[in-house]
């Protein structure tokens, strides 16, 4: 697997997050759209295929089979739960009627968020979302796994979009909000992240969107809060999410089983 021990130490230093309820309900439509940031696996880039390389020299030993990808159950076990977050949070489903109508304002991210098409064959994605009794903060994460070359390409595409976009508008069934995007230091050294600032019905919203490849999966994380300015809790929750992915998919039973199946 690809995660380093330094990454492991870095993510194990997180604190247990606690809830900080605020007064206003967050906009649901942008959050539905943000989950698609982890699905760049839907339809390829359409570029020319890479030229064939020269045959590799024959190996004296038996060829090593690629490690099997994590299953849907594996990904689910690597996602955060209410036990990880504490009693202030509850797992939630998207609000009824809050259907996303599209994203605009940044060609690279719009292409990803509004993308159509089926996932690549073999790609698996799982996600979860949480909120508090007063609907803020509202957070979620998505894990995507697929063939490792394709996964690296898709991660690079999303990361580049986050680094270059300056604004993004989400349009829901009854509300539209424009967020300014500012790259920030968030999570670990391999994390690409932006802070998002906007106003809904006179209420200041800020959020954080982060993406990182950890071993055989890409973690996409989103977090919104109303009236808050600090990234501390969002960063703590992200580090907890990344640490769990690392523990389950890279260092735990899932990784051991994959290595054994590949004959390592």
Q: Specify the pTM.
A: 0.74
pLDDT of amino acid 61: 53
pLDDT of amino acid 208: 92
Per-residue pLDDT of the chain (264 residues; tens, 9 = 90+): 333 333 334 344 443 343 333 323 344 334 433 434 444 445 444 433 333 334 444 445 555 667 789 999 999 999 999 999 999 999 986 544 444 556 788 877 776 666 544 567 788 989 899 988 877 888 999 999 999 999 999 899 889 988 998 998 877 767 788 889 999 999 999 999 999 999 887 888 888 999 999 999 999 999 988 876 688 999 999 999 999 999 999 998 665 555 555 454
Alpha-helix residue ranges (DSSP H) falling in the chain: 5-11, 29-34, 72-78, 82-85, 107-113, 148-164, 232-245, 253-261
In a domain, 46, yes or no: no
In a domain, 215, yes or no: yes
CATH label of the domain that carries residue 88: 3.40.1000.70
Least Cα distance to 134 among 16, 19, 31 occurs for: 19
How many domains does the chain fold into? 1
Own/partner contacts of 71-76, CB < 8 Å, gap of 24 or more, are 71/124, 72/124, 72/126, 74/248, 74/249, 74/254, 75/124, 75/125, 75/126, 75/143, 75/145, 75/217, 75/249, 76/126
Q: Report the run of H or E that residue 169 belongs to, with start and end.
A: strand 167-171
Contacts of 229 (CB under 8 A, 6+ apart): 206
Structural domain boundaries enclosing 168: 5-13+27-39+69-259
In a domain, 22, yes or no: no
In a domain, 183, yes or no: yes
In a domain, 100, yes or no: yes
Q: How far is CA 186 from CA 47, 123, 183, 192, in A?
A: 32, 27, 9, 8
pLDDT of amino acid 256: 56
In a domain, 214, yes or no: yes
């Amino acid at each position: 697997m690809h995660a380093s021990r330094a990454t492991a130490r870095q993510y194990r230093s997180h604190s247990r997050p606690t809830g900080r309820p605020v007064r206003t309900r967050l906009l649901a439509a942008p959050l539905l759209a943000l989950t698609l940031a982890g699905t760049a696996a839907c339809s390829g880039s359409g570029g020319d295929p890479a030229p064939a390389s020269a045959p590799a020299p024959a190996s004296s030993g038996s060829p090593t089979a690629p490690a099997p990808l994590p299953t849907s159950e594996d990904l689910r076990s690597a996602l955060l739960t209410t036990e990880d977050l504490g009693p202030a949070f509850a797992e939630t489903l998207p609000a009824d009627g809050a259907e996303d109508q599209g994203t605009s304002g940044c060609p690279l991210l719009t292409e990803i968020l509004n993308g159509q098409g089926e996932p690549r064959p073999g790609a698996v994605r799982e996600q979860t979302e949480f909120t508090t009794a007063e609907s803020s903060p509202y957070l979620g994460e998505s894990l995507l796994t697929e063939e490792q070359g394709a996964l690296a390409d898709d991660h690079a595409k999303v990361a580049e979009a986050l680094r270059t976009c300056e604004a993004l508008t989400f349009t829901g069934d009854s509300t539209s909000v424009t967020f300014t995007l500012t790259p920030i230091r968030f999570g670990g050294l391999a994390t690409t992240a932006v802070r998002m600032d906007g106003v809904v019905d006179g209420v200041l919203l800020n959020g954080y969107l982060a993406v990182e490849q950890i071993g055989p999966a890409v973690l996409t994380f989103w977090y919104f809060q109303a009236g808050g300015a600090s990234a501390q809790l969002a960063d703590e929750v992200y580090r907890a999410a990344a640490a769990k992915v690392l523990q389950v998919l890279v260092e735990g039973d899932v990784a051991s089983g994959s290595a054994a199946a590949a004959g390592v």
